[in-house]
Structure 1
């Protein structure tokens, strides 16, 4: 019996030893853990569950075989992995880029004042809009201009965040851009000095040019963290000053925080749907207005090809709910929603998690929103906005004057 018992113990020890040292108990390195975390976030959240018609698990195994000796090699592997999705908005944000994005949405920045994006149709880096009174705006750079090189580096070799990082820099330093204006074949060279940028979300004024019919003018520059509060304050002030109608200027507003767009829509709308979101399962969610608007007075929204993302959410909500008419030019056409996820040591990853539809279920991605009244105009400077040279603004004034006559 003793021999049998000893034999059983030896067998059990052998089995346990095999379990303890099984090859499946592989310990991942810290670099592999970061790559796996990025892969898993995309696997769980990305809007396209076909992952651009690829086997995402096979991609995981492929990239785990890469040598990841340091953080730079890890970031390179993650960028290569995300590039397979063919989605410029799903991207790695190394610590510096992630920090810069947080600064931008908080309303502080230095640089030359360009909002940029990658055109998904041709993979070309484009200007969404220059910021008002920025070095880029004063130099005459326009929405949809293509950025060919940055300090001699071909932008086709850069990700969106790499390009933004090269354009940014310390105040007083310069950056050289080669730019191909929209619908032109010649390339222009700009040497621009970086400066502190004013990212005040809202500017406003009471236009008294029409007798007995003052118009509240509101210009929203971006959907930052303080945009809703600033706009609500301006609306209340204009109400107190006797505004009888409003012009909300979203021209060259490239967007920003989705939540800011939702909250600003609620300032104007009675209970109604603001926007629908569609996730990877095709499930519709919605954001709604469920309170009282600050004002129900006539409203015109000005848009152009530089109006993008949250600007299109707001414009679409106001148009579809018949709260405002849109005047200007067709908008940019970015109907995708990104969420930010944190990675170790200050990095992050932006992932396209859904697309949005207007209240009447219009999908505007790559299509844009068409205004009720199309009014095109040549480039005007920031200082000419609201003047006789601003044809879109003048059309808005004319519409509101006729609306006032109708209401009498």
Structure 2
């Protein structure tokens, strides 16, 4: 997720504007920042100040100036005509204006550009302390099918323990059908008090499952690390990054420094099931691995206007393999793409989720707000990740068919088939290639291991 802030805007890349329940977005980890209302010029021929029309006009102008159309449904001329139409109507209270705003935004057919009434906006502006109340899933909306899709369960949460998987489709919440339901609508139904029960109807492939879950308080540690020994006597630093929270970069730095002190000969960075998080965390973490090169670029309606680069402050230059899967999204894809395109390491696993849109959360004059798609991000080589994802250099699947007892504690061990492939790749780099030829040979090595 991209999260940037200045006095007028709060921006993020969300996993398809995903929402981890409740109040936690893979790329929607919003800090509790008080932001002033946006000041925009007004049409003096229309008296809208201090009226329900003021907030409506503010929304219109934000879209006009900043919206990045990713699906071909926006047209400047039509949008200008729409302004005249909506401002010529009478609105007797905020509720009527809100209805007009929702209708106006629906014409964009972008599920991630949406209106938030004051209550919803207040709930969105939460603390990124790493603790939340809920069931621990990250939810997205499929743009083509309009289905509610689970990006990934958060490790050690009720959803994770119940066996919820990436790409599970939620078709019901308790007794309510989710057909046509928005992300916010689903959140309101799933949210509840600690200890209460909610049942999700899930479609997984051709299976229909009913999954009962007990809501709970969830504490999240972003980084888990340890020193693993290889079969030939080498040492590997295994680092699992669960999410890009506000403290993730600090935790990553501590983990790398400790493993360097323990004489790790190489690293496996595990981004599987990581739904994303703060952009600044992903940039900071990328700089801990990369000495040079572009990390990510951002494309707005006015073209590419932002490049984020490494700063020559990498904490290690030892061989690196990154584990990814279909639950690796957004900020995870930024980091994985930067490592792959700069030939800093190789990717092992399965294709990533494919989320590359940037939303900006904008406060409005009456305490409401909107999220608006303002950009998309590209990998250093200019690859558009959105909907496409990132392909690993070495494909590997997590085979659980013969291991029904596999759990989170088995990740990064010999029971983890993807980790075994990653360890094999890393061992070959560590013991068959010298440090000066590492960069030039990682690409060739990936093909040799397929």
User: For this structure pair, what is the TM-score category when the shorter chain's length is used for normalisation?
Assistant: 0.7 to 0.9
- Which deviates more from structure 2 when the two are superposed, residues 371-380 or residues 392-401? 371-380
1:202 aligns with: 223
Q: Helix, strand or coil for the counterpart of 2:303?
A: coil
Residues 1:171 and 2:194 are matched in the alignment = yes
Gap change, CA 1:95 and 1:222, over 3 Å in 2:
farther
Structure 2 Cα separation of the partners of residues 104 and 251 of structure 1: 25
The root-mean-square deviation of aligned C-alpha atoms, in Å, is 2.2
Distance change in 2, residues 1:154/1:389 (3 Å): same
Aligned position for 2:247: 226
Which has the higher Rg, Structure 1 or Structure 2?
1
Structure 2 unpaired stretches of 5+: 1-43, 401-405, 435-450
Structure with higher RCO (Cα < 8 A, 6+ apart) = 2
**Equivalent pair of 1:105/1:257 in contact (CA under 8 Å):** no
Write out aligned runs for 1:6-405 (5 A): 24=45, 26-48=47-69, 52-54=73-75, 55-64=78-87, 68-103=91-126, 105-181=128-204, 183-184=205-206, 186-210=207-231, 212-344=233-365, 346-378=367-399, 381-405=407-431
**Corresponding residue number in structure 2 for 1:9:** none
Q: Deviations over 1:169-225 (max 9, x none)?
A: 2211221211101x21x3211221100112221111111344542211111111122
Q: Report the Cα distance in structure 2 between the residues aligned to 1:378 and 1:365, rounded to whole angstroms.
A: 27
- Residue correspondences, number: 384
Q: CA distance change for structure 1 residues 99 and 252 in 2, over 3 Å: closer, same or farther?
A: farther
Q: CA deviation at 1:346?
A: 4.4
Question: What CA distance in whole angstroms lies between the structure 1 residues aligned with 2:152 and 2:70?
Answer: 32
Secondary structure of the corresponding residue to residue 414 of structure 2? coil
Q: 1:72 to 1:243 in 2, by over 3 A?
A: farther
* Shift in alpha-carbon separation, 1:310–1:279, aligned structure 2, 3 A: same
Question: Which secondary structure state, in structure 2, belongs to the residue aligned with residue 253 of structure 1?
Answer: coil
Q: Please list every run of 5 or more consecutive structure 1 residues that lacks an aligned counterpart in the other structure.
A: 1-22
Distance in 2 (alpha carbons) for counterparts of 1:199 and 1:104: 13
Give CA-to-partner distance per residue, 1:284-318, whole Å, 9 cap, x none.
43111122201001111111011111111110000
| Structure 2 counterpart SS, 1:283 | strand
Higher helix share: 1
Question: Is the contact made by 2:399 and 2:417 (CA closer than 8 Å) also made in structure 1?
Answer: no
Rounded to whole Å, the distance in 1 between the matches of 2:386 and 2:243 is 19
Contact (CA 8 Å) 2:46, 2:87: kept in 1 or not?
no
1:327-372 Cα offsets, whole Å, 9 max, x none, are: 0000011111112212245433221111111111111211110000
Deviates more, 1:359-368 or 1:338-347: 338-347
**TM-score of the pair, normalised by structure 1:** 0.88
Q: CA deviation at 1:144?
A: 0.3
1:94 deviation in Å? 3.3
Aligned-partner Cα distance in 2 for 1:67–1:213: 74
Structure 2 CA distance, aligned partners of 1:69 and 1:157? 29
Runs of 4+, deviation exceeding 6 Å: none
Return 82-91 or 317-326, whichever deviates more. Answer: 82-91
Separation (CA, whole Å) in 1 of partners of 2:420 and 2:125: 36
TM-score, scaled to structure 2: 0.80
Tell me by how many angstroms 1:166 deviates.
Answer: 2.4
Deviation at 1:389, TM superposition (A): 2.8
Q: CA deviation at 1:390?
A: 1.2
| 77-86 vs 313-322, which moves further | 77-86
Between 325-334 and 46-55, the greater mean CA deviation after superposition: 46-55
**8 Å CA contact 1:228, 1:264 repeated in 2:** yes
